[in-house]
Amino acid sequence: MTQRSLALAVALLVCSVGCGRTAQPASTAAPPPATAPTEASVASADGVSIHYVAEGRGRVVVLVHCLDCNLHYWDGVAADLARDHRVIRLDLAGNGRSGANRKTWSIENFVSDIRAVLNATGVDRFTLVGHSMSGTIALEAARQLGERVTGVVPIDSVLDVDAHLPTELREKVLADLHADYRGFIEKQLPSLLPPNPDPKVVARVEADALAGEPARTAAILESLFTYREDLALEGLAMPIVAIAADRRPVALDHNRAHAPQFDARVLKDTSHWLMLDKPTEFQRTLREVVESIELGKARRRPI
């Protein structure tokens, strides 16, 4: 078991924190015109109700949260981008105001959630931003949707696609999760924080992590652990620009061996939850990355 592999396991597990959940169901009314603020729900491919919010007008940015978070994780980011973009946020199944009656928890089914919202909102082309586990989900969405995705922006995710988690470590992480979920979270959370974290951020993410459902989290993690990010990258031509915290290095050489266009921006002294630690700097960086993709300045895979 390498330190890098253990860090990957911890990040995937503890990324299940973020914002508190709301149990009330979303409205299923037909969405208003595309330029008006919209809050509604749509059925995913397996019938699970997916809650979403769309706002603003212009080029489209889709924001997808980490495990056991919800779309409100992006409130500050959405407010900034919606000044001149159409911003679409969704609660993945099992999170926020979306349904939890899913039989199979997989990356592919989460992509179906994104696809359902895109169809409901009439979106054709868009930049896809995914935090933590949704960085991986974004790769699969881009693989399936192809040139509809103008660019992928993993947030503190897809840091080293060659860091495959050994089978024995996967099994140990899942066993520890089932045996003592609270203990595992409390023990591993510090590895995702900077040396002097904001106490408010720590309290928030820890509380929300502990509110997670271990069985569902374990099922999702199994899908994430076995997904081949390296193979996904090899099939993508659009720009891929990560925004990462400086706790762990981004393995540019490894990632570029599979996707030469891969790039990264690093924010110093931040936790896994960059948008909570330094919202102004994060929003500015994300805007710069999104606009570089939209203006054709971000690198694509060489022909």
pLDDT tens digits along 151-166: 999 999 999 999 988 9
Q: Decide: helix, strand or coil at residue 157.
A: coil
Let me know: does 232 contact 143? Beta carbons within 8 Å: yes
Q: Which residues of the chain have pLDDT under 70?
A: 1-36
Q: What is the pLDDT of residue 21?
A: 38
Q: What is the pLDDT of residue 197?
A: 83
pTM beyond 0.75:
yes
Amino acid (1-letter code) at residue 239: P
Could you tell me the fold of the domain covering 3-294? Rossmann fold (3.40.50)
Rg of the chain over all Cα atoms, to the nearest angstrom: 18
Which residues lie across from 59 on neighbouring strands? 85
- Helix ranges (H only) for 153-213 are 167-179, 181-188, 199-210
Let me know: does 44 contact 50? Beta carbons within 8 Å: yes
Q: What is the pLDDT of residue 16?
A: 40
Q: What is the pLDDT of residue 155?
A: 98
Q: What is the pLDDT of residue 198?
A: 83
Pairing of strands 126-131, 85-90: unpaired
Q: How far apart are CA 92 and CA 57, in angstroms?
A: 23
